Amino acid sequence: MKNITITVDDDLYRRARIVAAQNETSLTALVRNYLESLAQKTEAAPWNWRKEILKTAFARLDQRLRTHAPLGKFNRDEIYAGRLKLH
């Protein structure tokens, strides 16, 4: 069995400990169960999981483009299709 170390802010740690206590388990078990669930989802439907990651990434990119570029100039579909050069 491997050990992992993560760093979280104090408030997240406190809230996670509360959730663990409410479920009568440890924080370690809570994280382990989450990671097992995530791995099972990925193994069961890897493409769906990757598709969700890409969807989230494109949504974040869209938001950044809207924030840093004039609205209405271009959209993600135009960039993806190669109709717009970003040089």
Neighbouring CB atoms inside 10 A of 42's CB total 13
Q: What is the pTM of this model?
A: 0.47
- Check pLDDT > 80 for residue 82: no
Tens digits of residue pLDDT in 3-26: 889 898 898 899 989 988 988 889
- Check pLDDT > 60 for residue 69: no
- Delimit the domains of the chain by residue range: 1-44, 45-87
Instruction: Note the pLDDT of residue 79.
Output: 60
Tens digits of residue pLDDT in 23-67: 888 999 999 998 888 887 766 666 666 777 778 888 877 776 666
